[in-house]
Amino acid sequence: MWNRSKLVVIAVMAALLPPVGARAQGYTPVIIQGGGATNIYPQAINDKGQVAGTAAFSGATRAFLWTPATSTTGAVMKNLGTYKSYQWSNGTALNNRGDVVGRVQANSTSAPQATYWQGGGAASLIFPANARQQSEAYAINDSRQIVGEYTGQTAQTFLSQMVNGTRQTAILGYGWPGGITSAGKVLVRYNGTGYPAYVWTPSTSNGMTGAATAITEGPWVISDLDQIAGDTTYTIQNQWGTYNPDKPSLYVNGAWTDIPFPSIPPPSGAWVNGGAEAISSTGRVVGWMNAYDLTLPPPYSPTVQTVFVSDSSNGTRDINTLVPVGWVVTDVYGINKTGQILAKATSGGVSYAVLLNPSSN
């Protein structure tokens, strides 16, 4: 399970939220904390509600694995440490077995190295340490297949997995990975240098060779249903110019479908810019959208800002209409099959990493 690392920070203004009486509470925030961690930066969530990310422990930047409380145990924040004497580690994704992937870095001048923490244990490098070659692991499935980025002269996607008891790694092609399904399908995103996005499907029993199918527009993440969430570009014009904003979209059966603006309608004459951030194994999508008034001259500032959750049963909803009064969700990072959302939110002027537990959604 993976989430976009190039995040758009959205400052949702309280004045734009609906009146208290109109707000249906659908999510309960649980603060992600513990273990002495500060500056907590969540990255991904699995179907058990466990969270991987990066935090500061006694001033040192480390990958973490957070496990929520149960009826018999309290929540646990685990510092995953780093590799040998390396200075930094970052967690970017995890699977349902609690395996975490990410990167470590020896010092400020060395290249990041793709890293794997099996079962929350000691860090292992996916490639032999090489200060001149940059790599980072971005996603892992429950079969412990790992995809990430390997950069020589150009960014390429790698696939790493166990074959006959030995971890083997293959370079799939140019571009950045957008996730791997339970069946081993890999989404590779457009890398901006003339190479189109594609889905790589394994064609051999060991899963190390396969075929690519091109995808248009801006795919970002893939689900186990082979649905792809991302953004598509459209063109709008007014008397001041021509613009090409993005809008969040879902790719199913070879076609893109727009994700509609949520419960707060954009003003008349507005144009919408946004993107999908994550998709669950069951096809639920979270992301962000901003609306801009096209009747006004540039520079443009959003008149409505929102983070959304979208699914086939409930449509698209503004998350800030579904949380308790006093909480404002600013960023979304992931969503799992039970509907739990990984986010950043503020309360009382303080920003927290939170797990949004569905209550009546």
Q: How far apart are CA 218 and CA 269, in angstroms?
A: 25
Query: For 38, left (φ over 0), alpha (ψ -120 to 50), or beta?
Result: beta
Q: How far apart are CA 158 and CA 142, in angstroms?
A: 17
Location of structure tokens 């082979």: 226
| DSSP conformation class of 16 | G
What DSSP string describes 117-171? Answer: EGGG-SEEESS---TTSEEEEEEE-TT--EEEEEESSSEEEEEEEEETTEEEEEE
Query: pTM of the full predicted structure?
Result: 0.90
Q: From 180, 178, 248, select the one nearest 5 (Cα to Cα).
A: 178
Question: What 3-state class would DSSP assign to 319?
Answer: helix
What DSSP string describes 46-94? Answer: -TTS-EEEEEEETTEEEEEEEE---SSS--EEEEEE-STT-SEEEEEEE
Tokens of 66: 């957070």
Question: Distance between alpha carbon 298 and the CA centroid of its chain, in Å?
Answer: 31
Q: What pLDDT is attached to residue 131?
A: 61
Q: How far apart are CA 312 and CA 64, in angstroms?
A: 33
Backbone angles phi, psi at 244, to 5 degrees: -130, 70
CA distances from 339 to 64, 223, 279 (A): 22, 14, 10
Q: What pLDDT is attached to residue 2?
A: 44
Q: What pLDDT is attached to residue 203?
A: 87
Q: What pLDDT is attached to residue 302?
A: 87
What's the chain's Rg over C-alpha atoms? Answer: 20
Helices then strands, counting H and E runs in the chain, come out as 0, 30
Tens place of pLDDT per residue across the chain (361 aa): 444 433 333 333 333 333 333 445 599 999 999 999 999 999 999 999 999 999 999 999 999 999 999 999 999 999 999 999 999 999 999 999 999 999 999 988 889 999 999 998 999 999 887 766 899 999 999 999 999 999 876 789 999 998 888 888 999 988 889 999 999 999 999 766 567 899 999 987 777 889 999 998 889 999 999 999 999 999 988 889 999 999 999 999 999 999 998 866 666 667 889 999 999 999 999 999 998 888 888 888 888 889 999 999 999 999 999 999 999 999 999 999 999 999 999 999 999 999 999 985 4
Q: What pLDDT is attached to residue 7?
A: 31
Q: Which residues pair with 231 in a beta bridge?
A: 218, 248
Q: How far apart are CA 285 and CA 276, in angstroms?
A: 7
Q: How many residues make up the chain in this entry?
A: 361
